[in-house]
């Protein structure tokens, strides 16, 4: 219910994170007609000219475009969801959605105009979008009831053209509740599959949806990411507003910054390999979603907190190398090295690292004053020569209180060395 409330806020508010909308028409040889489409470009599309974006194809684009755009805009704002190119197909004229989604009664395969519409999407629409816009290889498709059932036909291909499917209360063609689970188990590529129903859904449709859900849940393959939502108190149409944010957050869960929960349950309990965890997280993001994203500063701070919590100070060296790769002109890398030397008792090298950081660009809550203060404080612990020229022993002191990065939490206050999600004002 909280997600739904926030979703309504996103629909009602106009922010700087709005998409540019383009109305276009494709002259289709497959359909032998012109078909209207609406394209929503990401907020950063005109600024980040080297960035490519995942593509979301919406069947029933006449009424699904706005709710999807609202949910995505809200996710963009908090950096919980990546920016996406939305391609909405108009199907509202002359009962087009029924004709577009026609299937053969016994096989459940696209038939008559349905076969032409099926080919239109794969052979005309997607090539047109790829030619004219900067598209990442990750593609999604979404629909409701009739269109949701029809879009499942793309899973019958040996190499499906879509990576993610958002099937909201699907009206399943013949045999699909048995065939789709078989296909999901056999497909070699990584597939995200979401479907939903509700206790207020159409009963004859709901029975078959639940049967398919039971079959899919028995599939144990690492390539399938599956989620089924059965909403309480929602009707056939209102379940859409529940489904959209749930589906998007399922598909893009790997994109989200490290949360307090992820830190406490997955990262902090690790005996080692905290930096490896961070590298793998972003490697998966690139391989699964086709998105090459700069590692967030907040995620650096999460791994830093894990290193401090578990006293794995040697990993600061690896973290510094990663920082230098992602933020080469900033003080982040030298700051991480300074922490390693400070925690391992090499005071002289720690002072030098903080002094080097002082000469670089500030980043996040790391400032020149902070680096200078750390260096000056540690200088007090440097060895001093006695009267006979011998070095006096180093007296270790407790590091400054700000050694472990903390942030103001958005919910319950986590432990002192636990990262919190960095949010925009």
pLDDT tens figures, 35-87: 999 999 999 999 988 889 999 999 999 999 999 999 999 999 999 999 999 99
Q: Where are the beta strands (DSSP E) in 119-203?
A: 135-144, 164-168, 191-200
Q: Which two tokens stand for residue 53?
A: 């974006």
For residues 424 and 301, the model is more confident at 301
Q: Which two tokens stand for residue 111?
A: 């038939």
Q: What is the percentage of the chain residues whose pLDDT exceeds 90? A: 79
Tens digit of each residue's pLDDT (9 = 90 or more) over 124-167: 999 999 999 999 999 999 999 999 999 999 999 999 999 999 99
Identical fold between 2-255 and 260-403: no
> Is 95 strand, coil or helix?
coil
CA distances, 402 to each of 152, 281, 406 (Å): 53, 27, 8
The fold for domain 260-403 equals: 1.25.40
Judge whether residue 282 has pLDDT over 80. Answer: yes
Phi, psi of 235 (to 5 degrees): -90, 180
Judge whether residue 364 has pLDDT over 60. Answer: yes
End-to-end Cα distance, the chain: 24
User: What value does the mean pLDDT take over residues 336-348?
Assistant: 96
Tens digit of each residue's pLDDT (9 = 90 or more) over 219-271: 999 999 999 999 999 999 999 999 999 999 999 998 999 999 999 999 999 99
Q: What percentage of the chain's residues is helix, strand, coil (to nearest 5)?
A: 45, 15, 35
In whole angstroms, what is the distance from residue 381 CA to residue 345 CA? 10
Question: CATH number of 2-255: 3.40.50.460, 3.40.50.1820, 3.20.20.70, 3.10.20.90?
Answer: 3.40.50.1820
Q: Where are the domains of the chain?
A: 2-255, 260-403
pLDDT confidence of residue 287: 83
pLDDT confidence of residue 381: 79
In whole angstroms, what is the distance from residue 139 CA to residue 94 CA? 28
Q: What is the dihedral of CA 289, 290, 292, 293, to 10 degrees?
A: -20
């Amino acid at each position: 219910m909280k997600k739904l409330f926030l979703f309504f806020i996103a629909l009602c508010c106009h922010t700087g994170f709005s998409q540019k909308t383009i109305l276009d028409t494709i002259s289709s040889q497959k359909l032998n007609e012109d078909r209207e489409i609406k394209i929503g470009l990401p907020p950063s599309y005109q600024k980040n000219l080297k960035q490519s974006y995942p593509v979301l194809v919406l069947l029933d684009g006449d009424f699904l475009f706005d709710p999807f755009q609202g949910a995505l805009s809200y996710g963009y704002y908090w950096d919980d969801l990546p920016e996406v190119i939305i391609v909405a197909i108009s199907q509202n004229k002359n009962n087009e959605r029924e004709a577009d989604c026609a299937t053969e009664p016994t096989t459940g395969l696209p038939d008559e105009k349905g076969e032409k519409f099926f080919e239109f999407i794969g052979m005309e629409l997607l090539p047109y979008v790829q030619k004219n816009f900067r598209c990442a290889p990750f593609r999604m498709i979404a629909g409701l009831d009739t269109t949701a059932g029809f879009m499942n036909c793309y899973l019958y291909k040996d190499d499906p053209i879509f990576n993610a499917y958002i099937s909201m209360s699907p009206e399943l063609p013949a045999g699909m509740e048995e065939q789709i689970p078989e296909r999901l188990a056999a497909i070699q590529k990584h597939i995200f599959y979401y479907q939903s129903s509700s206790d207020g859904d159409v009963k004859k449709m709901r029975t078959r949806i639940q049967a398919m859900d039971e079959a899919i849940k028995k599939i144990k393959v690492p390539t399938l990411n599956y989620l089924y939502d059965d909403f309480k108190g929602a009707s056939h149409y209102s379940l859409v507003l529940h489904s959209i944010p749930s589906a998007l957050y399922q598909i893009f869960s790997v994109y989200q910054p490290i949360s307090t929960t992820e830190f406490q349950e997955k990262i902090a309990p690790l005996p080692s390999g905290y930096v490896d965890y961070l590298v793998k997280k972003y490697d998966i993001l690139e391989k699964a979603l086709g998105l090459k994203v700069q590692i967030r500063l907040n995620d650096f701070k999460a791994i830093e907190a894990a290193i401090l919590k578990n006293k794995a100070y040697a990993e600061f060296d690896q973290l510094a190398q990663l920082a230098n790769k992602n933020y080469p002109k900033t003080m982040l890398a030298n700051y991480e090295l300074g922490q390693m030397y400070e925690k391992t008792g090499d005071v002289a090298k720690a002072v030098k690292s903080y002094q080097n950081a002082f000469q670089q660009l500030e980043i996040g809550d790391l400032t020149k004053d902070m680096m200078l203060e750390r260096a000056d404080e540690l200088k007090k612990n440097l060895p001093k020569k006695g009267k006979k020229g011998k070095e006096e022993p180093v007296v270790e002191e407790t590091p400054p209180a700000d050694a472990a990065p903390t942030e103001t939490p958005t919910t319950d206050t986590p432990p002192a060395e636990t990262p919190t999600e960095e949010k925009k004002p």
